[in-house]
Amino acid sequence: MTPEQMRDASLLELFSLEAEAQTQVLSTGLMALERNPTQADQLEACMRAAHSLKGAARIVGIDAGVSVAHVMEDCLVAAQEGRLLLRAEHIDALLRGTDLLMHIATPGDPNGEALVPAFLVQMASLLDPTAAPAAASVAVEAPLPEAPPPQPEPVLPAVEADVEPAAPRKAGKRPVEGGERVLRVTADRLNSLLDLSSKSLVETQRLKPYLATLQRLKRMHGQGMRALDGLKTQLEDSGQSPEVLDALAQTQRLLLETQQILQQQAADLDEFGWQASQRAQLLYDTALACRMRPFADVLTGQSRMVRDLGRSLGKQVQLQIEGEKTQVDRDVLEKLEAPLTHLLRNAVDHGIELPERRLLAGKPEEGTIRLRASHQAGLLMLELSDDGAGIDLERLKRNIVERGLSPADTVAQMSEAELLTFLFLPGFSLRDKVTEVSGRGVGLDAVQHMVRDLRGSIELTQLPGQGCRFNLEVPLTLSVVRSLVVEVGGEAYAFPLAHIERTLEVMADDIVQIEGRQHFWHEGRHIGLVAASQLLNRPAGQGEANSLRVVVIREREQLYGVAVERLVGERVLVVMPLDPRLGKVQDISAGALLDDGSVVLIIDVEDLLRSVEKLLSTGRLERIERGVQGARGASRKRVLVVDDSLTVRELQRKLLSNRGYDVAVAVDGMDGWNALRSEAFDLLITDIDMPRMDGIELVTLVRRDQRLQSLPVMVVSYKDREEDRRRGLDAGADYYLAKASFHDDALLDAVVELIGGAQG
């Protein structure tokens, strides 16, 4: 390819990108002008978009694009100057021209230049109804000599013209975003970047145990030096020879030099680890943000589709959208386009009535479809409603009976919600005859299938005569999932939060047998209880003697309590698909990495519930033994919590007590010092800023006391600056935890790292 050809190819690609952006401006503006033809801001925006496209088409040498954009610009300028009032036929023609421009700008698109002459004739007749057809040439800056002679054609609505509406580009490929420069990056590269950033974030966590070991080594070194000081004093008092004392002094000097090196290395490693974790987190957050796009990206062309489809059916329909800026993963957006398009077409065809019927029902002639997007607990919540006729429940009942789906007497007793579920069955339709829009048997079942592929759900409600409402819930991203990590058989598993109703502790005495199955009573209903160890083929661990940790999961109307050994905590996990060579792994959807680099498997809740039903049907569901006995005779490790905040003290006390530790509390450093001198503890957890005696003073006293020198110390403070961390560690603390990043498992994991489990 010659440099000139490369340059031309690049320009054509740029023109295609600009056409994509400017035709979207035109579509949005023209539909706004259809409601109010004199909106100055919309007229200006549309005129500028047409003008920009005309200039861009001239630069790349696409004469057909110049012609179409020029005549559209003439029409819009006439409207701006008050010489022309835009009517429905003008909007139809301008929208047709918008589609034509997109076809012209798309390489290899056949619906382009051949349709230009007829469009120019139509626009000429609209701009000057008295002019002859040949007048079209006046509006053309660059005539098309190779095109056949233009033939006059009647003015038709855009949906009936021979120009197919230009298909919107896939989500995430819009060329401009708030005036910023935008580069094209493949989805695979973005996925790779997110994967690498998540792994780098995990790798930085591996520095923590090295730093903790170095801090412990530094403390032990200090203890050795103090012991050597004591030995020197004893030797001097006993009258040892100068040679021995000189050798001892030389040893002390060497130890002092190694102490300085050790302190410097520990400080450097701590600073490096902290900065590396901060940068890795920023890299991960930025990579994740690159995958997110505004919900508006999936709406490209939807308003136009609703408008055109309504006109073809003789209906007046408007689409109102809320939450266009809601951020969603680009993969989710792409997979939402098809189900949303189907639901919108369904609302226009089935929902919105003809104008005369709406007037008889006391409604405005124009029907309204509302689409609202919002975030909630890591989910994209979509609500699509219309103010149409709703669903004829009597007709639905007759259809169910006629199809032999259920006996008439049973159908007569069904609730409205039960009746509406039949609409999601394959091939079910209330349309008596097949049209271009409906009645082909590809209905809500396809929508439901597509939504479930996104790990989401869909629900239909309606009010007769007032319209229908679809509620969709899908994850904001397929790359990241908010999960509850639990422990089963010594291994980590993750339940997506979207499927968790709640977590709770069930006392052994509250478990009852009903029809041979275990249940517990919660909020007015019995919930079935199953052991995660049996479902996941893991060895049953020994839990608490009198209680069970239970995760209550929901899939549509099904609720089950899954007993696990331990609730580790909530995590945001980067999804790592399983190797396709493994096939479908039962009850597992994907994998992920935890902060410490260990692997966690993500539960496929829908699959898990199928496993429960299978075990129930075969009678192989095992009972969970109540009152599993642990090691009762072992002594519990004691922890002293020192903090002047009642809330923090109580939170830490509950967390540690629930894990089995014996916990005492102190209200400030002085109170804590008195407790340490009078009682024995396995661990000290202290704040820094406290009255009477702060945490640094307390830690310093502990390290000077011969009896308490080896006591592990953890500092938990709101201060997260590097100098604060170093100050606490230099004073002698073994672990520094910032309250800003504090969460339940962070504290508990640190305690286990320092002193092990609760049983001594």
Give the CA angle between residues 376, 550, 533 to the nearest 5°: 115
Which one, of 324, 207, 325, lies nearest residue 269 by Cα?
207
Name the band, by pLDDT with cuts 50, 70 and 90, for residue 749.
confident
pLDDT of the residue at 163: 54
Name the band, by pLDDT with cuts 50, 70 and 90, for residue 442.
very low
pLDDT of the residue at 212: 80
d(CA 648, CA 641): 9
Quick check: 629 pLDDT over 80?
no
d(CA 496, CA 587): 13
Secondary structure E strands in 378-424? 379-386
pLDDT of the residue at 95: 92
What is residue 619's DSSP assignment?
T
Tell me which long-range contacts 81-89 makes (C-beta under 8 A, separation of at least 24): 84/127, 85/37, 85/38, 86/33, 86/34, 86/37, 87/37, 88/34, 88/157, 89/126, 89/155, 89/157
Q: Determine the residue type at 322.
A: E
Q: Which residues contact 682 (CB under 8 A, 6 or more apart)?
A: 637, 638, 639, 711, 712, 755, 760
Helices 88-105 and 40-60: angle between axes, nearest 10 degrees: 30
Quick check: 97 pLDDT over 60?
yes
Give the pairing type, strands 467-475 and 558-564: unpaired
Quick check: 85 pLDDT over 80?
yes
Q: Which residue has the tokens 């259920």?
A: 406
Between 81 and 107, residue with greater pLDDT: 81
pLDDT in tens, 598-624: 788 999 888 888 888 877 766 677 777
pLDDT of the residue at 515: 60
Quick check: 493 pLDDT over 90?
yes
Least confident of 278-282, 311-315, 442-446, 550-554: 442-446
Domain 638-755 is of which CATH architecture?
3-Layer(aba) Sandwich (3.40)
Quick check: 366 pLDDT over 80?
yes
Quick check: 558 pLDDT over 80?
no
Between 714 and 444, residue with greater pLDDT: 714
pLDDT in tens, 524-549: 778 888 888 888 888 776 555 577 88
pLDDT of the residue at 132: 44
Helix or strand holding residue 371 (H, E):
strand 367-376
pLDDT of the residue at 3: 46
d(CA 480, CA 568): 18
* Pair of tokens at residue 32: 């706004």
Rg (CA), the chain: 36
Concatenating the DSSP letter of every residue in 644-680 gives S-HHHHHHHHHHHHHTT-EEEEESSHHHHHHHHHHS-
pLDDT in tens, 13-57: 778 888 888 888 898 899 889 888 888 899 999 998 999 888 888
pLDDT of the residue at 537: 82
Name the band, by pLDDT with cuts 50, 70 and 90, for residue 352.
very high
Question: Looking at residues 578-586, what average pLDDT do you find?
Answer: 74
Average pLDDT for the chain? 80
pLDDT in tens, 638-676: 999 998 887 788 788 888 888 888 888 898 899 899 889
d(CA 425, CA 420): 10
Instruction: Just give the CATH number of 480-618.
Output: 2.40.50.180
β-partners of residue 519 are 512, 528
Domain 300-475 is of which CATH architecture?
2-Layer Sandwich (3.30)
Question: Looking at residues 233-243, what average pLDDT do you find?
Answer: 82
pLDDT of the residue at 382: 93
pLDDT of the residue at 160: 37
pLDDT of the residue at 633: 43
3-160, CATH topology level: Four Helix Bundle (Hemerythrin (Met), subunit A) (1.20.120)
d(CA 747, CA 346): 53
d(CA 372, CA 384): 7
Quick check: 346 pLDDT over 70?
yes
pLDDT in tens, 106-164: 877 766 778 888 899 999 988 887 654 443 333 333 333 333 333 333 333 333 334 55
Name the band, by pLDDT with cuts 50, 70 and 90, for residue 7.
very low
Name the band, by pLDDT with cuts 50, 70 and 90, for residue 363.
very high
- Each domain of the chain, given as residue ranges in start order, spans 3-160, 187-292, 300-475, 480-618, 638-755
CA 255 from centre of chain? 54
Quick check: 94 pLDDT over 90?
yes
Q: Contact, 734 vs 703, CB < 8 A?
A: no
Name the band, by pLDDT with cuts 50, 70 and 90, for residue 364.
very high
Name the band, by pLDDT with cuts 50, 70 and 90, for residue 211.
confident
Tell me, yes or no, if the pTM score tops 0.85: no
d(CA 196, CA 72): 49
Q: What percent of the chain has pLDDT over 90?
A: 16
What is residue 347's DSSP assignment?
I
Give the pairing type, strands 735-738 and 713-717: parallel
pLDDT of the residue at 69: 93
Q: What percent of the chain has pLDDT over 70?
A: 84
Name the band, by pLDDT with cuts 50, 70 and 90, for residue 242.
confident
